[in-house]
Structure 1
Amino acid sequence: MSEERASFGSKLGIIMATAGSAVGLGNIWRFPYMTGKNGGAAFILIYIVCVIVLGIPCMISEFIIGRHGAANTARAYTRLSNGTIWKLVGYLEVLTGFLITGYYAVISGWCLNYVYASVMGELNGDPAFVKNYFVEFSQDPIRPVFWTIAIFAITHFIIIHGVRNGIEKASKLMMPTLFVLLLVIVVAAWMLPGASKGIDFLLKPDFSKVNSDVFLGALGQCFYSLSIGMGCLCTYASYFSRHTNITTSAIQIGFVDLMVALLAGLMIFPAAFSVGINPDSGPSLIFITLPNVFNQAFSGAPLLGWAVSLMFYALLFLAALTSLISLHEVNTAFFYEELHISRKAGAWIVTVFCCIIGALCSISIGHKSGLSLFGLDLLDLFDFVTGQLMLPVVGFFMCLFVGWYIPKQIVIDELTNWGTLKFSFYKLFIFVMRFVCPLCILAIMLHQFGVI
Structure 2
Amino acid sequence: MSTKKGSETKLVGSPDQFTKSGFILAAIGSAVGLGNMWKFPYITGQYGGAAFFLLFIVCLVAVGLPVLLAELSIGRGGRGNASSSFVKVGGHKAWGGMGLLSVIGAFMIMSFYAVVAGWTFHYAVQAFSGKLFANDDFGGQFSSFISGYTPIIWQAGVLIITGWIVARGISGGIEKFNKVLIPGLLVLLVILMVRALTLPGAEAGVEFFLKPDFSRLTPESALVALGHAFFSLSLGMGAMMTYGSYVDRKQSLGAATLAIGGGDLLYAFIAGLIIFPTTFSFGIDQAQGPTLVFIALPAAFSAMPFGTLFGGLFFILLAIAALTSTVSLIEVPVAYAIERWKMSRNTAVWIIIAGCFLLGLPAALSFGLVPGLTFGGKSFFDWMDFIASNIILPLGGLAVTVFAGYFWKGIGDEAGLTGLWFRVWLFMLRFVAPILVLFVFLHSAGIIKF
Is this a same-fold pair by TM over 0.5? Answer: yes
Distance in 2 between residues matched to 1:192 and 1:402, nearest whole Å: 48
Match of 2:145 in 1: 137
SS at match of 1:72: coil
1:367 Cα deviation from its structure 2 partner? 4.8
Distance in 2 between residues matched to 1:345 and 1:373, nearest whole Å: 35
1:4 Cα deviation from its structure 2 partner? 5.4
Question: Counterparts of 1:362-377 in structure 2 under 5 Å?
Answer: 362-377=364-379
The answer to whether 1:447 aligns with 2:447 is no
Match of 2:80 in 1: 71
Distance in 2 between residues matched to 1:447 and 1:363, nearest whole Å: 28
The answer to whether 1:435 aligns with 2:431 is yes
Question: Counterparts of 1:381-392 in structure 2 under 5 Å?
Answer: 381-392=383-394
Query: Which residue of 220, 230, 244 maps to 1:223?
Result: 230
Which letter maps to 2:174?
A: I
Give the conservation status (yes or no) of the 8 Å contact 1:58–1:399.
yes
Give the conservation status (yes or no) of the 8 Å contact 1:7–1:240.
no
Question: Counterparts of 1:248-259 in structure 2 under 5 Å?
Answer: 248-259=255-266
Q: Which runs of 5+ in 2 are unaligned?
A: 2-10
1:252-271 CA distances to partner (integer Å, 9 max, x unpaired)?
10110011111011001111
The answer to whether 1:92 aligns with 2:101 is yes
Distance in 2 between residues matched to 1:119 and 1:294, nearest whole Å: 12
Match of 1:379 in 2: 381
1:208-236 CA distances to partner (integer Å, 9 max, x unpaired)?
11221221121111011111001100000
Distance in 1 between residues matched to 2:74 and 2:235, nearest whole Å: 13
Identity over aligned pairs, percent: 38
The answer to whether 1:361 aligns with 2:370 is no
Distance in 2 between residues matched to 1:134 and 1:210, nearest whole Å: 32
Match of 1:339 in 2: 341
Match of 1:413 in 2: 413
Distance in 1 between residues matched to 2:418 and 2:207, nearest whole Å: 43
1:370 Cα deviation from its structure 2 partner? 2.1
1:369-402 CA distances to partner (integer Å, 9 max, x unpaired)?
3224434221111001011111111111211011
The answer to whether 1:14 aligns with 2:10 is no
Give the conservation status (yes or no) of the 8 Å contact 2:46–2:289.
no
Give the conservation status (yes or no) of the 8 Å contact 1:126–1:292.
no
Distance in 2 between residues matched to 1:436 and 1:91, nearest whole Å: 24
Give the conservation status (yes or no) of the 8 Å contact 1:98–1:354.
yes
The answer to whether 1:48 aligns with 2:57 is yes
Distance in 1 between residues matched to 2:420 and 2:75, nearest whole Å: 20
Which letter maps to 1:385?
A: I
Give the conservation status (yes or no) of the 8 Å contact 1:7–1:241.
no
Question: Counterparts of 1:75-154 in structure 2 under 5 Å?
Answer: 75-125=84-134, 127=136, 129-140=137-148, 142-154=149-161
Distance in 1 between residues matched to 2:374 and 2:335, nearest whole Å: 31
1:169 Cα deviation from its structure 2 partner? 0.2
Which letter maps to 1:124?
A: F
Query: Which residue of 40, 49, 61 maps to 1:31?
Result: 40
Give the conservation status (yes or no) of the 8 Å contact 2:111–2:356.
yes
Which letter maps to 1:348?
A: W
Question: Counterparts of 1:148-297 in structure 2 under 5 Å?
Answer: 148-296=155-303
Distance in 2 between residues matched to 1:326 and 1:162, nearest whole Å: 12
Which letter maps to 1:451?
A: I
Distance in 2 between residues matched to 1:194 and 1:437, nearest whole Å: 40
Distance in 2 between residues matched to 1:6 and 1:28, nearest whole Å: 33
> Greater CA deviation, 27-36 or 281-290?
27-36
Which letter maps to 1:328?
A: I
SS at match of 1:158: helix
Which letter maps to 1:438?
A: P
Distance in 2 between residues matched to 1:343 and 1:450, nearest whole Å: 41
The answer to whether 1:329 aligns with 2:326 is no
SS at match of 1:364: coil
> Greater CA deviation, 79-88 or 331-340?
79-88
Match of 1:62 in 2: 71
SS at match of 1:86: helix
Give the conservation status (yes or no) of the 8 Å contact 1:412–1:424.
no
1:125 Cα deviation from its structure 2 partner? 4.2
The answer to whether 1:425 aligns with 2:421 is yes
SS at match of 2:132: coil
1:186-227 CA distances to partner (integer Å, 9 max, x unpaired)?
001111111111111111111111221221121111011111
Distance in 2 between residues matched to 1:279 and 1:450, nearest whole Å: 28
1:3 Cα deviation from its structure 2 partner? 4.0
Give the conservation status (yes or no) of the 8 Å contact 2:127–2:311.
yes
SS at match of 1:366: coil
TM-score by length of 2: 0.94
Distance in 1 between residues matched to 2:155 and 2:426, nearest whole Å: 42
1:313 Cα deviation from its structure 2 partner? 0.3
Give the conservation status (yes or no) of the 8 Å contact 1:69–1:75.
yes
Distance in 2 between residues matched to 1:425 and 1:43, nearest whole Å: 28
Distance in 1 between residues matched to 2:288 and 2:447, nearest whole Å: 22
Give the conservation status (yes or no) of the 8 Å contact 1:59–1:228.
yes
Match of 1:352 in 2: 354
SS at match of 1:279: coil
Give the conservation status (yes or no) of the 8 Å contact 2:78–2:89.
yes
